[in-house]
Amino acid sequence: MTVLFDTVTGRLRLSADHWEALLSWSQGRSSPDRQTADLRTAGVIDQGHLHTSLVPAFGAALEPVITLAVEQSDDEGVRIDGTGWVGPAGGAFLLDAPDELRELVVVHPAMLPATLARIVALGPRERGATSSRRHSDAAMGALLSADTRARRAAVNEAGGDSLSDLIDGPWNHWSIRAQWPPDGQHGLAVLDTVQQMWLIERSAGMSLLRPTDPTEVWRLLIRILPTDDELAVN
């Protein structure tokens, strides 16, 4: 069975098929019998009802005020992607987890910025004494390649010691996009290395790497998330 649920903490890990079955069941649509049976055995569905610890998460997932997309990649080529939903009563993230499972993280809206900061490992870092750098999107793709030799060649071609951390790592490249219905969108992209943190600003096929620090990133993160008043609109 690929459903792991802690009925005390509400921590839920499950396969993509089980997640889709759970969404279908929660919306009153038909769902595969085997996956639904697994969800009942794990306690996710309890006596015909969704477990109480998961109710806020599904309220957000089914009727979100905003939808979030989180993407991460590191120097070893490991990707951690996820989708989030935020509603008046709660928020939830469905994140990649080991063993090809996904983990559902349930959060109170007030804890949304802190939860996102933890997901992307936003931590203390001093702003380096470097200037902004501009590269083509193709060059940025090479700089963030999973292949160390490709990164080394790209760094040497770009020139500048400020990018040398990209060769051996560790580094983390992450982005968060907030989608506001019907068509509003805000985003934030960051490259975090040992010695330097950069904001990535893309426009017309070019990528601007602008030096930043965790304090500025935190403030920008809060700005793309909904306020209490905006959450109450739904």
Note whether 190 and 174 are within 8 A (CB). yes
Nearest one of 5, 97, 21, 108 to 56, comparing CA atoms: 108
Give helix 55-62 / helix 16-26 axis angle, nearest 10°: 80
**H-helix segments, the chain:** 16-26, 33-42, 55-62, 112-119, 137-143, 148-158, 165-168, 214-223, 228-231
Q: Is the peptide bond before 181 cis (omega within 30 degrees of 0)?
A: no
Q: Are 93 and 107 in contact (CB under 8 A)?
A: yes
pLDDT at 199: 95
Please report, in tens digits, the pLDDT of each residue of the chain (234 residues total): 689 998 888 889 999 899 989 988 888 887 678 899 999 999 999 888 999 989 888 888 888 888 999 999 998 888 888 999 988 878 889 998 767 899 998 888 888 889 899 989 998 877 776 788 899 999 999 999 989 999 999 998 887 677 888 888 899 999 999 998 777 788 999 999 988 899 999 988 899 999 999 999 999 999 888 777 777 654
- Burial class of 213 by CB neighbour count within 10 A (0 to 12, 13 to 18, 19+): middle
pTM of the model: 0.85
Token digits of residue 133: 């750098």
Q: How far is CA 56 from CA 94, 105, 123, 140, 190, in A?
A: 14, 11, 28, 39, 30
pLDDT the model gives residue 234: 43
Going from N- to C-terminal start, the domains of the chain cover 3-112, 133-223
